[in-house]
Amino acid sequence: MPFHQYFNGEIFPVDTALFKTNDLGLLRGYGLFDFFRTYNGVPFRWDDYWARFENSARLLKLSLPLTKEATSRILADLHALSGEQEVTFRFVLTGGYAPDSVHVVQPNFLIRTEPLPRDNPAGKLKGIKVLPYEYVRDLPEIKSTNYVHMILMADEMERQQASDLLFYKNGEVSELTRSNVFIISGNQLITADRNVLHGITRRVVMELAAPHMQVVERTLTLQELLDADEVFTTSSTKWVMPIVQVGDRQIGDGTAGKQTLFLQGLFEKYVESWGR
């Protein structure tokens, strides 16, 4: 599988060493990224992903070196080079090489193609366990490259057979390390409205759910979540993933919720027909 990557105007095999060591992403954590995939060979919700990437770049005051159209052509080239029906794309935009290790001169723009991540079909049916973790992301609206807590806690999650961390602060839930969180309470579908990254899967699920239940974005407390009928998380790799346990506490009867599985079904149909 000859996966390739675009870097500042050229295309290279994906394992080529490309970054000089005075990059602000590397030295100062000054970078942002995005991550999305194709369905039926067509980039999923590309307009939404590009808009979010543009917004993150604006908030970090980094100028995008390419237009949407030019980027779109690069995606097509990288996809063709992969020889695969489906790929994922990872965008990384850093502060670039800085002579003084402080000031941005010219951002570095990388687009990697990667194979589809390993799916978790058992988790989708049975649900997953997450650990509550007191933390709120810095600059949460930006898809920055700061994932220190996720990596720091990887061993502990494995030890406790948990799949992810559920971030909360002062009793208020925000998101998981790389995905959004929803609860279902009666006929309401509720998700946090602040301190979250606005996920594209989150948006699609709200669109799909709207004809069937009341969709509410508001402050969400940890206590409400623990007491909810159903809880699930959404991301481009997790789709609609039931959460059945938070630390030692079981959600509902500890099995994937019916309405969650219903929304999961709607999402699966949506992506199966994407681009057709």
Binding site for a second copy (CB under 8 A): 5, 7, 14-31, 33, 60-61, 90, 92, 94-95, 100, 102-104, 110, 112, 117, 138-139, 144-148, 150-152, 154-155
CB of 129 to a second copy, least distance (A): 17
The H-or-E segment that residue 50 falls in is helix 46-59
**Residues sharing a CB contact under 8 Å with residue 186, sequence separation 6 or more, in sequence order:** 229
The residue (of 144 and 195) whose beta carbon lies closer to a second copy is 144
Closest CA to 87 of 189, 5, 169: 5
Strand order in the sheet with 10-13: 10-13, 4-7, 108-114, 88-94, 31-39, 42-43
The residue (of 1 and 210) whose beta carbon lies closer to a second copy is 1
DSSP-based three-state secondary structure for 141: coil
CB atoms within 10 A of CB 5: 22
The residue (of 80 and 154) whose beta carbon lies closer to a second copy is 154
The residue (of 31 and 127) whose beta carbon lies closer to a second copy is 31
The residue (of 24 and 184) whose beta carbon lies closer to a second copy is 24
Distance of CA 241 to the CA centre of its chain: 13
CB of 275 to a second copy, least distance (A): 26
Separation of alpha carbons 62 and 105, rounded Å: 9
In a 10 Å sphere around its CB, with 0-12 CB exposed, 13-18 middle and 19+ buried, how is residue 48 labelled? Answer: middle
The residue (of 15 and 69) whose beta carbon lies closer to a second copy is 15
CB of 7 to a second copy, least distance (A): 8
CB of 190 to a second copy, least distance (A): 28
Residues counted in the chain: 276
CB of 139 to a second copy, least distance (A): 7
CB of 189 to a second copy, least distance (A): 29
